[in-house]
Amino acid sequence: MQVQRSAFLRDAKPLLQELIGRLSEKYGYASVLAADTRSKAYRVGNTGVNVGEDELFTRRGFVLKVYDGRSYGEYSFTHLDEAAIPAIEAEVAERLMPLEGLPEGLTLSEYGQIPDEPAVLLKSTEYAVHPDQRGDEAILSALTAIRDDARGRDERIIDCTIRFEFQEIHKLFLSPHRDLEQNLLWSDGALDVMCPKGDDIVSYYDSASVLGGAEVLDTLRGKLDNAVKSALELIDSESMVPGEYECVCTPAVTGMIVHEAFGHGVEMDMFVKDRAQAKRFMGQYVASPLVTMHDGAAVKQDTGSYFFDDEGVLSHDTVIIEKGILKRGISDAQSAMHLGTEPTGNGRRESFERKAYTRMTNTYFEPGTDTLGDMIASVKDGFLLDNPSSGMEDPKNWGIQCMVNVAREIKNGKLTGRIFSPTVLTGYVPDLLKSITMVSKDFDLEGGGMCGKGWKEWVKVSDGGPCIKARIRLG
């Protein structure tokens, strides 16, 4: 079934068209993004049962963007009726302020206008089971059953926290030449199996996501066997001996490397501020010829998917690295205008009250031709890395630091059964990517988490890829 359209946006559309028409008579550019979004989260664990709206993503409102020939300004608001339109016009005129100063080296005459080519779009995503149809009681019952199953498998399991969340998103973008509407449903879930290890607690976390609805709960249940097995194995885990090793990365770890090691580094709003090393490496080898990297809301179906971004740019499939060569970055419309490039549909807002930044969507490496078995067999002394937990990078210096929960020892082409945890993955990004010598046929993409721009501006993304073999510094 398809996600239904928003009555709130339907009723607001004629008034917004009138408002844009009036603003277009005064300004060189005028557009509005209208949003009607809601998110609901469910959680079951030792601390109890929780269900409720996620206030961060349950919002209704509007944001105007205008260009007065000198600078761009934005104005967000929540109340709209016929009587409010003159007051909104007056507020825009009074409050118009530049979003930011001119980039270094540009003059006012070079600070151009965002393109507004004609486009009309009305699209909705599909789902098998809408969470509202399944109902709170049934969802909580399903989560509780998975948790009880986990806890009943071994007395050493002290808890299994499990969550489910969905976002239903309705957005309307209008400008003099654009009339775009999209209706989306993203859902994801996660489980975290915990066991005691001396005075500490070890845990194994896994997640599942879908461009769809509550059907993701079935996928989540299918991950329980491995999560329980892995959590119990972590009880006997050892500390990593720092060094550089041959490593095979599962798709989840590959996704973390894609996102943290390179994704943030090619967000082109950082190019405008000269805060990204990638700006100086366009057209050069930055990775093994085996590596081709994509980002795009149109390229895959997961929690990073949509039909147009928050600046009215249609979704893309952007090839960032092609056979090891850095081809292009990803951008919002404002950054693309500054840099003289085409926007890639990556302008995303946390909400209608926040600025649009360049943000990732679905980010991944293409699969290759190798098998996981052959990759392990080729390792003399190294590790199979799995279960990423966190990561961060420095786009200006291309450093990376990530945490991996499970490092399975490989000796002479075979897994020994020894596990090391936790493990820190560090290094210089091009060195890591250039060291990739094998890429598997396996492929997985997941979007169970959130991505922040620095420490804020949260949006949903997905990342992944195949298994890869590389030399990585561990500690």
At a CB cut-off of 8 Å and minimum separation 6, what does 32 contact?
16, 19, 20, 62, 63, 64, 65, 173, 174, 175
Token pair for 347? 């302008």
How many secondary structure helices (H) and strands (E) does the chain include?
A: 11, 25
Structural Rg of the chain based on CA atoms: 24
CA distances from 345 to 203, 310, 367 (A): 37, 8, 24
Given a contact cutoff of 8 angstroms between Cβ atoms, the answer to whether 166 and 39 are in contact is: yes
Can you name the residues that pair with 90 across neighbouring β-strands?
Answer: none
Cα-flanking dihedrals φ and ψ of residue 464, to 5°? 165, -155
The predicted pLDDT at position 104 comes to 54
C-alpha angle 111/395/446, rounded to 5°? 105
Mean pLDDT, consecutive 10-residue stretches, the chain (475 aa), reads 98 98 92 98 95 94 89 92 95 68 48 83 98 98 97 97 98 97 98 96 97 98 98 97 98 95 91 89 97 97 98 98 98 91 96 96 98 98 95 81 96 98 94 97 94 88 98 97
* Separation between Cα atoms, residue 459 and residue 452, nearest integer Å: 7
- Token pair in block for residue 254: 């590959």
Q: Sign of the C-alpha dihedral, residues 99, 101, 106, 107? A: positive
For the chain, domain boundaries: 7-41+49-122, 125-166+185-233, 243-474
Q: What's the CA gap between 338 and 262, in Å, rounded? A: 22
CB–CB of 457/471 below 8 Å? no
The whole model's pTM is what? 0.94
**Residues contacting residue 102 through CB under 8 Å, at least 6 positions apart:** 108, 111
CB 165 within 8 A of CB 54: yes
**The domain 125-166+185-233: what is its CATH number?**
3.30.160.100
440, exposed or middle or buried, with CB in 10 Å at 0-12, 13-18, 19+? buried
Q: What angle do CA 254, 271, 334 make, to 5 degrees?
A: 105
The C-alpha angle 369, 372, 378, rounded to 5 degrees, equals 95
Q: How far is CA 193 from CA 3, 7, 450, in A?
A: 33, 41, 20
Q: Which residue has 């959680």 as its token pair?
A: 43
pLDDT, position 185: 98
pLDDT of the residue at 389: 87
The residues that bridge with 182 in the sheet, in sequence order, are 123, 171
Residue 126 is given by DSSP the state B
For 83, residues 6+ apart whose C-beta sits below 8 A from its C-beta are: none
Close Cβ partners of 191 (under 8 Å, ≥ 6 residues apart): 146, 147, 150, 160, 161, 162, 163, 205, 206, 207, 220, 223, 224, 227
Quickly count: other Cβ atoms within 10 Å of residue 431's Cβ: 14
pLDDT confidence of residue 112 = 67
Q: What's the pLDDT score for residue 338?
A: 86
Residue by residue, what is the 3-state secondary structure of 353-370? CCCCEECCCEEEECCCCE
Nearest to 408 by CA among 441, 451, 375: 375
Q: Hey, which bits of 131-289 come out as E strands? A: 159-175, 178-197, 200-210, 243-249
- What pLDDT score was predicted for residue 428? 92
